[in-house]
A and B are shown apart, each in its own frame.
Chain A
Amino acid sequence: MSELEVPGKEANVLKGHEGAVLAARFNSDGNYCLSCGKDRTIRLWNPHRGIHIKTYKSHAREVRDVHVTPDNSKLCSCGGDRQIFYWDVSTGRVIRKFRGHDGETNCLLLLVDLYSTGLDLGDSHLVNAVKFNEYSSVVVSAGYDQSLRAWDCRSHSTEPIQVIDSFSDSVMSVCLTKSEIIGGSVDGTVRTFDIRIGREISDDLGQPVNCISMSNDGNCILASCLDSTLRLLDRTSGELLQEYKGHTCKSYKLDCCLTNTDAHVTGGSEDGFIYFWDLVDASVVSSFRAHSSVVTSVSYHPKDSCMITASVDGTIRVWKT
């Protein structure tokens, strides 16, 4: 029964990126998707029809993450050039560039080969992830300089309004809720910063955290660790609910996410496979070879059973049931 729910049919292949695609993200209603990659471009697609709509070029280095506001009017993106770009979707112009993440870093380079997608060690300025908050008034970025930075989109300031530097290694991923900022770092911690009560809750997983993603009900966090394990944490208690194994994730930043119904956990693997686990009993429901190379990013449609995956092989594939 569950086999049927999991997308496994290739609906479309979105080609256009030259070089690795580092992230692919659905927009908030799932009608469009954005991708970014090593070719320094961000591309807007209609994944359901397989059409490329627009290309956003301005980055000087590879683009590592992109996020779009709920109203689809603005984009933010980040990458190797220590800046966070704030775009207007329709005109394709950069409205603002937040300069930051240039802190001196002396962190242990645990993730040396994590950047083996073509990065050298001198790159201490890269920004790993960006997200808008609910009101799309703040962009929060996670950087290699061991910090989370919040940027104000409403004012004209290009300085961060908040710098969270309690991490002790590169911050790889960030999630936002209505009142919290959650960051996952290579130092093995997932830290939740609750703005409402002014507390920082640190969950130490003991393994470098690659990527974090929230369950749709907001109660759990799925963290992808570098020991080829996905871990599901209960947010209120900090308990480890489940571990999902089977894939390989040892040196790349691979995304993971939950399906729209929260019934399954999905994630890419370094051998080009996609895995689907049952959320509760952690059994591999489905796994198939989706790409010829590392699956860097997965994103699930917010409502339908549809998924997009991006890979180092330069393609984005759309999967449906």
Chain B
Amino acid sequence: MDLDEDDFVFFGTPIEREEEITSRKKKAVAEASGQLRTLPVWKQEVTDEEGRRRFHGAFTGGFSAGYYNTVGSKEGWTPQKFVSSRKNRAEVKQQSILNFLDEDERADLEGQSLGTSMQFDTFGFTAAELARKQAEKEQQQRPSAIPGPVPDELVLPATESIGVKLLLKMGWRHGHSIKDSRPSSLYDARREARKAFLAFSSDDAKAQLAESESVQGNLESITEQPTNDDVQSHQNTPVYVRNPKQDLHGLGFDPYKHAPEFREKKRSRMSGKRETGNRKADSAKDNLFGFKSGNVAPGFGIGALEEFDAEDEDVYAAGFDFVDTYVQEVEEPSKLMTDSKPKLLAKETGVLPGFRVASNSDYQLERFDPPVIPKDFVPCHKFPGPLETNYRLADPPPPEVPPPEDNNLKLLIEGVATLVARCGKLYEDLSKEKNQSNPLFNFLTGGNGHDYYTRKLWEEQQKRTDQSRQQVDVKQSSSMRKMTAESRGKILGERPLERSIKDLSSSVASAEGIQLQFNLSDTFTEPASSSGLHEAVKPFKDDPAKQERFERFLKEKYQGGLRSTDSSGSSNMSEASRARERLDFEAAAEAIQKGQWGKESKHFSATGGMQFTSGGVEQAKGTEAEDLITKKMFPKREEYQWRPAPVLCKRFDLIDPYMGKPAPAPRMRSKIDTLIFTSDSAKETKVEETIIANRDFSMLQSDVQGISQDVAIKENEVEVEVENVERPVDLYKAIFSDDSDDEGETTSLNKVENPEKKIEAATTTLNRLIAGDFLESLGKELGLEVPPDLPQSTNMAKTPASQKEAANTNVGDSNILPVKNNPSSTVFSETLNHEVPHNRKIAIESRSDKNEVIHGKLAKSVGIYMETGSTENNLDKVDLEKRVHEDSKAKTPSSRRKNWNSNSSSEDERSRKQSKRHRHRSGDSDSDSSSDHRDRYRSRSKGRKKESSREKSGSSRRHSKHHKHRSRDSPGRSRNDSDREHREAKREKRRKRD
């Protein structure tokens, strides 16, 4: 009814691409915004493939120029060349289907249209064929007297022969005699003249004429024809219409021959009876009979002066019909109605018109009674399997035959025998057939080992029948007598089956016996399990291995006989656990005896389980408890913040509770989550620390490690609460691009870096120790008071790289430390190798480098450094000056980084790097000695910079790490500042002195 064009039925899930989705979305939006299709053309917006509004250029139409929704083409609207119509008239272009076809389609069409052309169709066969097809098509719509398709041979549609065609070409028309057409033209002229004459003569006549013309236009010719005899004589070939015979009268008999009014009556009655669905037929009939009856055609209405007679009711009947159908069209055709309608129609159409469905027919269905089922018939198929085996058992057993020498063959034979015994003779036949060519299977067909095979087969079959017999026994007893296995056992004084099996199997060979035993126990206990015995015997069913051992234990206990001391399961158990298990088993066996089979087995198994299985019981208890808890616990109410969208509030006609408040931060998953997360990470780092510590600090004492770890953990704990403040990382990145380059270039080194980060915690403490030592010594040297308890060392604000160096530091290598006097430089001087001389060299170089820079910048401060620094450096520095300077310029971050990771690389570069750092620092400290504040800010910013770089490099790391660094940062910074203050103060003093 309302078929939306967009709705297709899709099968499967289409793989959607991003762009498709977006474009579709856009389309959807466009459609939703006022249904594009319904908009007038000039209001529609033209969009291109991406959904953008199309702009054609200011001079070519702006936003709404041609092609998409107006005239034109892709190339634009091109005016046709002017052709003067004065001389050569514009030809009317004849369009054919070929104009609209593609090349390939055209080729297809042309290739296929093979057939006689109409030109050569002398006898009109092809035309006849076509006409027949046409008629068949029409047949569908046209009702006919004979229901169903009319046989082709019976009704041949009239076709025009070539003669008729020729005549037609010459101007002949159907219904006209073959005559010159000129008189007709003459007649036309005359008619015109007469019309004019009539108009001229009288007004009345004219009015009458007009009326008659308008109302009965087609009758005009008839009324006028009598005036002209010539014309009438032309129409001497009547068009022959075959009327379908619809009555029951004999051929050619017309009962209304002399009473046409009755015919009319009958017809109207018929049409009244007809359903609306057949209205077409009625109208067709109207046309057929229209001329003869002279009835007023429906739809013309009745004039005021005309008589209102019975015939006119037809008009209204038709009108009523129309209304009726209208109603039906509007109303949704309900299921009920459609159900009833076809029945009605079927009733009508299934019967030939004029026939009636007979109320009673002679034809009677002959019915046959179903066969009588014999009273003793049991609707259950019995398989002759056991019977067969029984029958076979009657045969004398084949003689015992020694197995063939070939072990493989023996195994094969045994295997086949068991299979055959299990699956029946069919399997034997099958394998015989399959392995005809295989020499290994000769024993099947009577070759080598056949005797052994038959013997084996017999044995197996015997075994199986034993089993099945027992099985049948059990089944019978349990099903027929409704007796449990235990009760039967009690009555008969039997032992449980497994033990009896043992007896049985003891006579058989050992390896086989086990197999058999398992088979038997399986087959036997299965039916028993339904009664609960199976469960009862298995108090350790949670642990199958244990259960197995328990069963063995039981056997041993109650039966004696052969004891397998080296039980496979318990062999790998410790002595203690075996003892414990044995105790368990004893208790279980006792319990089983006590609560012997008479008791409700299920109950027993439950209690037994409680007693003897440790894990399972607790679990069961746990679940029960849980159930209780859940009952108590639920429903559990929790409340969260939730921010409704402003639009939603508006639509619900409520005031937004969060109006004017900033958008909330994305909702935390839950606090617990983050806590778990951090603790996890802390744990991880701890573990990693230890690992790395073991690897890297092998030379370190273990107590140092311990301290460092402890401290690290503590720090982690503290840092959980530290608020994460977003820092404009990118800014720093932009400024100090060398740091970012580091990570960009050395992706492979990041792996190495990560462990570095992880050992930072350890390093810090280490550094603290070193720094503490150092500062003390420094303080002594400078004659300053060093705060005895420094929270953290200066290198807190350092890059991880420097920290790694620090990590590599030999603790005992303290001889370098005194060399350094500038607190900020301590960090870098710690870049120590294990080789002392080298270290020494670096230290010297770094010193010199620093001094050089200072020289270049501020001569004043040189003195300070000279004083504090070692004297050798001063001597060397002039020589080194230039080289170092250049090197520091040429230095690339990547090389530097590589150095960090490979300790064995040249010392020069390291020193160069250090020099750069020093320059920075010195610049900081020296540039603005007066304003402490700014200095501090700088150092902080530097710290941040380092921090940022670290963040970048370790972007993949977890969050908590950042916390760690940051928190470690701050005390370090403060330390730095205090140090600097000290220095500054000192420097000022000296200046004054100078």
- A-side residues, CB < 8 A to B, are 15-16, 51-58, 60, 91-94, 96-97, 99, 122, 133-135, 137-138, 150, 152, 154, 156-158, 161-162, 164, 166, 178-179, 188, 190, 193-207, 231, 233, 237-240
Q: Is the CB of B32 within 8 A of A133?
A: no
User: B653 — which chain A residues lie within 8 A by C-beta?
Assistant: 135
- The CB with the most chain A CB atoms within 10 A, among B4, B633, B652, is that of B652
Cβ of B654 and Cβ of A199 under 8 Å apart?
Answer: no
Q: What are the 3 tightest A-B residue pairs by CB atom distance, in nearest-first order?
A: A238-B637, A200-B642, A206-B634
Q: Are A161 and B332 interface neighbours, CB within 8 A?
A: no
Q: Is B222 an interface residue (CB 8 A)?
A: no
Q: Roughly how many angstroms separate A137 CA and B13 CA in the complex, as a whole number?
A: 32
Pair A152/B647 contact, Cβ less than 8 Å? yes
Interface centre among B3, B7, B648 (most CB of A within 10 A): B648
With A199-B641, A203-B635, A204-B634 as contacts: A94 and B652 at CB distance below 8 Å: no
Q: Tell yes or no: B658 within 8 A of A by CB.
A: yes
Q: Known interface pairs A52-B336, A53-B332, A97-B28. Does A195 touch B639 (Cβ–Cβ under 8 Å)?
A: no
Task: Please give, as numbers and ranges, the residues of chain A lying within 8 Å of B642 by CB-CB distance.
Answer: 164, 166, 193-194, 198-200
Task: Report the minimum CB–CB distance from B641 to chain A (whole Å).
Answer: 7
Taking CB atoms, residues of chain B closer than 8 Å to A237 are 637
Shortest C-beta distance, A15 to chain B (Å), equals: 7
Shortest C-beta distance, B447 to chain A (Å), equals 56
Which of B335, B637, B652 makes the CB contact (< 8 A) with A138? B652
Cross-chain contact B637 with A201 (CB below 8 angstroms): yes
Q: Are B2 and A92 in contact (CB under 8 A)?
A: yes
B636 to A133, Cβ gap below 8 A? no
Contact B634 A51 (CB under 8 A): no
B7: contacting residue among A60, A196, A197, A204, CB under 8 A: A60
Shortest beta-carbon distance, A25 to chain B, in Å?
19
Chain B 621-658 against A: per-residue CB contact (8 Å), 1 yes, 0 no? 00000000010011111111111110111011111011
**B654, A196: Cβ atoms closer than 8 Å:** yes
6 further interface pairs, Cβ-Cβ under 8 Å (given A202-B640, A206-B635): A52-B334, A55-B332, A156-B34, A162-B647, A195-B657, A198-B641
- From A56, which residue of chain B is reached at the shortest CB distance? B2
Chain B proximity of A226: nearest CB distance (Å): 14
Bound Cα distance from A150 to B2, whole angstroms: 27
**Interface pairs (7), CB distance under 8 Å:** A60-B8, A99-B28, A138-B648, A198-B643, A200-B641, A204-B636, A206-B630
B2 (CB) vs chain A CBs: closest residue: A92
**Assembly CA distance A178 to B648 (angstroms):** 12
Q: Is the interface of B mostly helix, strand, loop or mixed?
A: loop
Residues of chain B with a CB closer than 8 A to A94's CB: 4
Q: Write out the residue numbers on chain B whose beta carbons fall within 8 Å of the beta carbon of A152.
A: 647, 651
A106 to B400, CA, bound (A): 67
Residues of B within 8 A of A204 (CB): 634-638
| Residue from the set B641, B642, B647, B667 with the largest chain A CB neighbour count within 10 Å | B642
B641 cross-chain contacts in A, Cβ below 8 A: 198-200
Closest chain-A Cβ to B543's Cβ sits at a distance in Å of: 30
Of residues 1 through 53 on chain B, the ones whose CB sits less than 8 Å from some CB of chain A are 1-4, 7-10, 13, 25, 28-29, 32-34
Contacts of A156 in B (CB 8 A): 29, 32-34
Contact present for A161 and B25 (CB under 8 Å): no
Q: Are B652 and A195 interface neighbours, CB within 8 A?
A: yes
In the complex, the chain A residue whose C-beta lies closest to that of B653 is A135
Q: How large is the interface on B (under 10, 10 to 19, 20 to 34, 35 or more residues)?
A: 35 or more
User: With A and B bound together, what is the CA distance between A240 and B643 in angstroms?
Assistant: 27
B181 to chain A, nearest CB (A): 58
Chain A residues with Cβ below 8 Å from B34 are: 156
List A contacts of B647 (CB < 8 A): 152, 161-162
Q: Could you tell me if A179 and B651 are in contact, using CB atoms closer than 8 angstroms?
A: no
Looking at the complex, which one of B8, B636, B648, B658 makes contact with A203 (CB distance below 8 Å)?
A: B636
Of all chain A residues, the one with the shortest Cβ separation from B32 is A156
Give complex CA distance A172, B765 in Å: 56
**CA–CA, A73 to B13, complex, Å?**
33
Q: How far is the CA of A53 from the CA of B654 in the complex (A)?
A: 37
Q: Are B2 and A93 neighbours in the complex by a CB distance under 8 Å?
A: yes
Mark interface residues in B306-332 (1 if CB within 8 Å of A CB, else 0).
Answer: 000000000000000000000000001
Distance between Cα atoms of A158 and B457 in the complex (Å): 77
| Distance of A57 Cα from B634 Cα, bound (Å) | 42
Q: Is the CB of A15 within 8 A of B635?
A: no
Taking a contact as CB atoms under 8 Å apart, the answer to whether A54 and B654 are in contact is no
Closest to B9 in A: A60
Instruction: Report the minimum CB–CB distance from B627 to chain A (whole Å).
Output: 10
In contact, A199 and B639 (Cβ under 8 angstroms): yes
On whether the beta carbons of A205 and B332 are closer than 8 Å, the reply is no
Residues of A within 8 A of B33 (CB): 156
Q: Is the CB of B635 within 8 A of A238?
A: yes
**A134 surroundings in chain B (CB, below 8 A):** 652
CB-contact partner of B635 in A97, A166, A197, A205, under 8 A? A205
Contacting pair A198 B651 (CB below 8 A): no
Whether A158 touches B29, Cβ cut-off 8 Å, given contacts A52-B335, A60-B9, A201-B638, is: yes
* B9, B336, B636, B651, most chain A CB atoms within 10 A: B651
Bound-state Cα–Cα, A277 to B334, Å: 36
User: How near does chain B come to A245, taking the closest CB pair, in angstroms?
Assistant: 13
Q: Given the known inter-chain contacts A58-B7, A206-B630, please indicate yes or no for A200 contacting B332, CB distance below 8 A.
A: no
Contacts of B658 in A (CB 8 A): 198
CA distance A188 to B633 in the complex (A): 13
- Contact partner, B651, options A54, A96, A99, A137, Cβ 8 Å: A137
Q: How far is it, in angstroms, between the C-alpha of A238 and the C-alpha of B25 when the chains are bound?
A: 41
Q: A156-B34, A205-B635 are in contact. Are A161 and B648 (CB under 8 A)?
A: yes
- Known contacts A135-B651, A200-B640; A54/B332 CB under 8 A: yes
Are B644 and A198 touching (Cβ within 8 A)? yes
In the complex the two chains form, is A193's CB within 8 Å of B651's CB? no
Q: Report A-chain residues with C-beta under 8 Å of the C-beta of B645.
A: 150, 161-162
Bound together, the chains give a CA A116 to CA B626 distance in angstroms of: 30
Q: A92 contacts which of B1, B9, B29, B636 (Cβ < 8 Å)?
A: B1
**CA gap between A188 and B639 in the complex, in Å:** 15
CA distance A286 to B659 in the complex (A): 50
Are the CB atoms of B635 and A201 closer together than 8 Å? no
Task: State the CA gap A101–B1 with chains docked (Å).
Answer: 28
| Residue of A with least CB distance to B631 | A206
User: Considering only CB atoms, which chain A residue lies closest to B16 in the complex?
Assistant: A102
Chain B contacts of A199 at CB under 8 A?
A: 639-642
Residue of B nearest to A44 (CB): B332
| Cβ contacts under 8 Å, A97 to chain B | 28
**Shortest beta-carbon distance, B10 to chain A, in Å?**
6
Are B635 and A240 in contact (CB-based, < 8 A)? Answer: yes
Q: Which residue of A lies closest to B629 (CB)?
A: A206
> Who on chain A is nearest to B8 by CB?
A60
List the A side residues contacting B649 at CB < 8 Å: 195
- Bound together, the chains give a CA A240 to CA B634 distance in angstroms of 8
**A162 x B648 contact (CB < 8 A):** yes
Q: Which residue of A lies closest to B636 (CB)?
A: A204
Q: How far is the CA of A168 from the CA of B645 in the complex (A)?
A: 21
Min C-beta distance of A146 to chain B, whole Å = 14
Closest B residue by C-beta to A203? B635
Separation of A134 and B25 alpha carbons in the complex (Å): 29
Q: Is the CB of A197 within 8 A of B657?
A: yes
B657 x A60 contact (CB < 8 A)? no
In the complex, what residue of chain A is closest to B630 when comparing beta carbons?
A206
Contact B634 A195 (CB under 8 A): no
In the bound complex, how far is the Cα of B640 from the Cα of A132, in angstroms?
25
Q: Could you tell me if A198 and B657 are in contact, using CB atoms closer than 8 angstroms? A: yes
Query: Nearest CB to that of B30 among chain A residues?
Result: A156
B640 to chain A, nearest CB (A): 4
* Pairwise interchain contact B29-A58, C-beta atoms closer than 8 A: no
CB within 8 A of A133: which of B1, B28, B652?
A: B652
* A residues less than 8 Å from B8 (CB atoms): 60
Whole-angstrom distance between the Cβ of B51 and the nearest chain A Cβ: 14
Task: Pick the most buried of A16, A135, A195: most chain B CB atoms within 10 A of its CB.
Answer: A195
A150 touching B637, Cβ below 8 Å: no
User: Is the CB–CB distance between A178 and B635 below 8 Å?
Assistant: no
B639/A201 in contact, CB under 8 A: yes
Contact partner of A154 (CB less than 8 A), chosen from B32, B634, B636, B651, is: B651
